[in-house]
């Protein structure tokens, strides 16, 4: 039995999880933006993303966009399928955006 804390939000049903999964992109986006596209609470979506990170092939970073508020950024891992075998794309492990500031 899984006990959810207040910060994790409520558990999502199967249909809602599928909705969150379809909103994921191969570009960085905040968990709050994903939640907005799904019409679900941000904390609940964040908990679902953390729980299914490996299963869905996601990458997560935290960044301070305005200098003090930390946000979670998510994207699908970019992969290349060659003859039935999936490989990470070259440059997928780069540090794009590390230390970058937003205008």
pTM, full prediction? 0.67
pLDDT of residue 13: 86
Dmax over Cα atoms in the chain, in whole Å?
A: 46
pLDDT tens for the chain, 103 residues long, are 444 444 455 788 889 999 888 888 888 999 999 999 999 999 999 999 999 998 888 889 999 988 888 899 999 887 777 888 877 776 545 455 444 444 4
Helix (H, G, I), strand (E, B) or coil at 17: helix
Residues 82, 91: Cα–Cα separation, whole Å: 17
Q: All domains of the chain, ordered by start, with CATH? A: 14-78 (1.10.10.10)
pLDDT at position 82: 83
At 39, is the secondary structure helix, strand, or coil?
Answer: coil
The CA-atom distances, in angstroms, between 53 and each of 67, 70, 102 are: 26, 19, 26
Which pLDDT does position 95 carry in this prediction? 52
């Amino acid at each position: 039995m899984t006990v959810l804390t207040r910060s994790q939000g409520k558990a999502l049903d199967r249909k809602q999880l599928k909705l969150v999964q379809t909103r994921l992109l191969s570009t960085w986006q905040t968990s709050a933006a994903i939640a907005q596209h799904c019409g679900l609470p941000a904390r609940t979506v964040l908990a679902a993303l953390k729980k299914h990170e490996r299963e869905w092939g996601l990458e997560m970073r935290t960044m301070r966009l305005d200098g003090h508020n930390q946000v979670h950024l998510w994207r699908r891992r970019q992969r290349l399928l060659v003859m039935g075998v999936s490989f990470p794309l070259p440059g997928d492990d780069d540090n794009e955006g590390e230390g970058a500031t937003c205008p």
